[in-house]
Structure 1
Amino acid sequence: MTPPVLTPKSSILIIGAGTWGCSAALHLARRGYENVHVLDPFDVPSPIGAGNDVNKIMEHKEIKESHKDARSVAFATCTRAALKGWKTDPVFSPFFHETGFIVSGSTSEIIEHIKENEIDPLQGDFVSLETAEDFRKTMPPGVLTGQFPGWKGWFSQKDAGWIHARKAMVSAYTEAKRLGVKFTTGTPNGKVVALIYKNGDVTGTQTADGTIHRADYTILAAGAGSDQLLDFKKQLRPTAWTLSHIPMTPEEAQKYRNLPVLFNVSKGFFMEPDEDKHELKICDEHPGYCNFVTDSQNAGEVRSVPFAKNQIPLEAEARTRSFLRETMPHLADRPFSFARICWDADTVDRAFLIDRHPEYSSLVVAVGGSGNGAMQMPSIGGFIADALEGKLQEELRTVVRWRPGIAIDRDWKSTQNRFGGSDKLMDFQDVKENEWTSIANGESKL
């Protein structure tokens, strides 16, 4: 079926009001599309969306000449455009904090991996950190009190820092609404339960209240939930990570302002406290968790199915506190005030998936953030709009295309070249009911 001619008056339906959905809605409205409608089962910001977070890392670096390949060039193109948006777009610029970024490791294997893949002495402004005192000097006195056993790192202060993801997403949503985008959120009205097909094409969606939403074009941008609506032929694997917050006094929060991001490739990372609640967010680093269940409706296939939970496994809490003992031991035993699991969708090669569907010409897929989606918020919607209009630049198109061929023999338990913990992908099915934190009123089990 040949899709309708795309015009400013074409009806465009976006499934998902998260980071990429809101960005796509904003860019389409800015391009003059007058009939854009976004559906999501939750109000913005979604409590299960990866972008509903106080902070995310934003880092852009040019590629080492020895490591230039199609995927790395495409990713650099995306992050370069995102950085420009974070610095110049008034919808997003208030939420970018260019405080710098420290990448580090604490085993010889990881340190060599960083040197080989991350650091180019001919580019950037990297400063080598060789001792615990070197690390301490990157922050105000009394912040980094740990011994940093075996740590080596590199500090860059340019084009890197953190973003307030939640506020940026709400800003994009607010501006898109101002420009005329319609949002239907909440369950059942905004919860898409099925795509609608007619004459071999997608012609809209059905929501949980039974409403059929017809559209000339549909954009599927539902993050980790996308593969519940479409067969991605193993291209997506919903994967979760773990985060927690530590409460701080207003005085402490002021002392910790404008800190560079401290990221250990196999231990974890943190950045400055949230300015509203005065909470310090810490993430333990690991290859991720899946929730593998048997899909009885699909020949017994095993797949990872996302779920929401404002707790983390006790093993994740233990990893977090171990990271703190090496960096900020004065905070290592402080009770957590909040924790949750955070879902994203991994592609096989961790490149994004943004393309017209090869069988359904009116359907655009915009998924596969692979742990790097939130930082793309200012510009990713423009690339999604380009894919809809059929003018995505070649260096991107060949990398982010629909590519089930590389997923045929996919190893669902691949670490995807991530490190930390036991250096294995973990399964929430292996976490017993009593092996989760129980965080309420600032109390945790450890």
Structure 2
Amino acid sequence: MLQKDSDIAIVGGGAWGLSTALHLTRAGFSRITIYERAEAIPSPYSAAYDLNKIVRAEYEDPFYTKLALEAIEGWKTPLFGPHYHQTGYVVAATGQAPPKAVEHLEKALSTIEQDPVFSPGIKRLNGAKDFKEYTWQYSGPLTGFKGYFNRLAGYAHSSNTLQAIWEHVSTIGVRTYLGEQAGRVVGLVYEQQKKRCVGVRTADGKVHSADVVICALGAHGASLIPELGRSVVARSWSVAHVQLSEREADFLRGIPTTNVRDLGFFFEPDPKTRLFKLCPLGIGYTNTGKNGISLPPSDVLPPPQDFIPKDDELKLRQLLRETFPWMADRPFVDQRLCWFADTRDSDYCVDYVPNTDNSLICLSGDSGHGFKMMPVFGKWVVQLLGEGRQTEQRWQWRASTGTDANWGNSVSWRIGEGAELSDLIEAKSKLLRARL
């Protein structure tokens, strides 16, 4: 039985690692240490190192709808509330959307349309006129748009949330090692006679003992736990921004978070930077090594940076033509790939690693929908520690789901085709050579 004064090491200072530290302290655990490779939190290694993330509760699966509703209540508390913006959520498909996009929209809507919690704030939308009742700033044609508006949703400023929670847990006793030497965990330490994890080794050569080690490295998890790479794939999506003027940003203040299922999604501009963030929807990109395991490139700024694939750019240009034509030809800035840990069924992994005598916990498989759970996620880790095993079967450790990372194509809410990072780099090189 884990004691309240047991040493607990959390590897990774992203959304799930910080949430775990928060809930452990609330549960009375007093000796918690976070190890983070970055020089500061928010960490650029975290998928949540970003302006904003969608916070919504409509899923095809009612299991996650229930959890997301609980998380939204958490977003409305004083600790998380300053970073949550309930702007409402518009979900649409264009007149050219493939059937898969329309089917997902309808399935997600069906989970909330009759729910008494949601139904007062749900409005089906048919055509541009309906949409512009909620999106009056959208000057584009909204060609063939059909969908709905959900009042009980919006977004959270993700980087600010990471910083706020880290600062909070630091004031209540959580210790943090930061940086490439002191904070980068390069290996797990096991007892010789028994495969029990007893600590971590950092890049400066020091060994830090622990009674329990919690690996919360997201897409980087298989770098410490290689067998994780058989069931969790490191995958990335494109992110781009348009730099707005103060007047333009003010004009778009308060627009609903908008998700056009066959093109992409965007948020109201960030008030501090006046950056307008857009993300194309698609399968994503992997970085599969010779061992068959996909991991993000090891650098903070992996290639290609300030570049997104041409197909993704075309989607975003079309998205802007439909919504904000005046922005459609603006240059994209701060273009990059955002890496996350993906599973075949989009289920998380919150469990002990087998054959480690309940000494090593793996938190992974956010699958692009994990950040919204940050206010409540750590509670599930506390429950796991109390039970000594994962009682939620769908979050249990999985030995393998096959070696083909292209299973992302079959996920119901993703449209298009995936690719390897090496293909993107080659495409970028060809583009540059063509311009010379």
Q: What TM-score comes out, normalization by structure 1 length?
A: 0.87
Structure 1 runs of 4+ with >6 Å offset? none
Confirm whether residue 101 of structure 1 aligns to residue 89 of structure 2.
yes
Q: Does structure 1 retain, via aligned residues, the 8 Å contact 2:199–2:208? A: yes
Alignment equivalent of 2:196, drawn from 201, 210, 213 = 201
How far apart in 1 are the matches of 2:293 and 2:186?
Answer: 18
State the shift of 1:232 in Å. Answer: 1.5
Matching residue of 2:68: 79
How far apart in 2 are the matches of 1:138 and 1:189?
Answer: 50
Alignment equivalent of 1:154, drawn from 139, 148, 153 = 148
How far apart in 1 are the matches of 2:276 and 2:315?
Answer: 16
Alignment equivalent of 1:38, drawn from 21, 34, 40 = 34
Residues 1:203 and 1:437: Cα distance change in structure 2 (over 3 Å): farther
Alignment equivalent of 2:213, drawn from 218, 230, 249 = 218
Residues 1:76 and 1:221: Cα distance change in structure 2 (over 3 Å): same
Q: Which letter maps to 1:432?
A: I
Matching residue of 2:123: 127
How far apart in 2 are the matches of 1:317 and 1:115?
Answer: 27
Q: Which letter maps to 2:20?
A: A
Q: Which letter maps to 1:175?
A: H
How far apart in 2 are the matches of 1:302 and 1:183?
Answer: 33
Q: Secondary structure at the match of 2:222?
A: helix
How far apart in 2 are the matches of 1:151 and 1:76?
Answer: 25
Alignment equivalent of 1:388, drawn from 374, 385, 389 = 385
Q: Which letter maps to 1:306?
A: P
Q: Does structure 2 retain, via aligned residues, the 8 Å contact 1:266–1:419? A: no
How far apart in 1 are the matches of 2:317 and 2:206?
Answer: 48
Q: Secondary structure at the match of 2:140?
A: coil
Confirm whether residue 284 of structure 1 aligns to residue 276 of structure 2.
no
Confirm whether residue 417 of structure 1 aligns to residue 406 of structure 2.
no
State the shift of 1:73 in Å. Answer: 4.3
Aligned length: 412
How far apart in 1 are the matches of 2:189 and 2:69?
Answer: 37
How far apart in 1 are the matches of 2:10 and 2:2?
Answer: 15
How far apart in 2 are the matches of 1:364 and 1:277?
Answer: 37
How far apart in 2 are the matches of 1:133 and 1:13?
Answer: 54
How far apart in 2 are the matches of 1:93 and 1:392?
Answer: 32
Residues 1:205 and 1:391: Cα distance change in structure 2 (over 3 Å): closer
Q: Secondary structure at the match of 1:377?
A: helix
State how 1:222-237 maps to structure 2 within 5 Å. Answer: 222-230=217-225, 231-232=227-228, 234-237=230-233
Confirm whether residue 184 of structure 1 aligns to residue 193 of structure 2.
no
Matching residue of 1:335: 331
Matching residue of 1:442: none
State how 1:260-275 maps to structure 2 within 5 Å. Answer: 260-275=256-271
Matching residue of 1:297: none
How far apart in 2 are the matches of 1:358 and 1:428?
Answer: 31
Q: Which letter maps to 2:187?
A: A
Matching residue of 2:103: 112
After superposition, the C-alpha distances for 1:240-295 in whole angstroms (9 at most, x for unaligned) are 0111111111121112111111101121000100011111001111111111221x
Instruction: Tell which deviates more after alignment, 326-335 or 427-436.
Output: 427-436
Residues 1:168 and 1:435: Cα distance change in structure 2 (over 3 Å): same
Q: Does structure 2 retain, via aligned residues, the 8 Å contact 1:103–1:155? A: yes
Matching residue of 2:160: 167
State the shift of 1:59 in Å. Answer: 0.4
Q: Secondary structure at the match of 1:334?
A: coil
State the shift of 1:119 in Å. Answer: 2.9
Residues 1:403 and 1:73: Cα distance change in structure 2 (over 3 Å): farther
Q: Does structure 1 retain, via aligned residues, the 8 Å contact 2:142–2:323? A: yes
How far apart in 2 are the matches of 1:408 and 1:237?
Answer: 10
Instruction: Tell which deviates more after alignment, 428-437 or 49-58.
Output: 428-437
Confirm whether residue 363 of structure 1 aligns to residue 351 of structure 2.
no
Residues 1:27 and 1:282: Cα distance change in structure 2 (over 3 Å): same
Q: Secondary structure at the match of 2:76?
A: helix
Residues 1:233 and 1:251: Cα distance change in structure 2 (over 3 Å): closer
Q: Does structure 2 retain, via aligned residues, the 8 Å contact 1:267–1:420? A: no
Matching residue of 1:144: 138
After superposition, the C-alpha distances for 1:189-236 in whole angstroms (9 at most, x for unaligned) are 111111111121111111111111110010010010001111226111
Instruction: Tell which deviates more after alignment, 160-169 or 383-392.
Output: 383-392
How far apart in 2 are the matches of 1:76 and 1:117?
Answer: 9
How far apart in 1 are the matches of 2:429 and 2:240?
Answer: 13
Q: Secondary structure at the match of 1:311?
A: coil
Matching residue of 2:370: 373
Alignment equivalent of 2:21, drawn from 17, 21, 25 = 25
How far apart in 2 are the matches of 1:265 and 1:100?
Answer: 16
How far apart in 2 are the matches of 1:105 and 1:207?
Answer: 48
How far apart in 2 are the matches of 1:393 and 1:289?
Answer: 30
Q: Which letter maps to 1:173?
A: W
Structure 1 gap ranges (5+): 295-300, 439-444
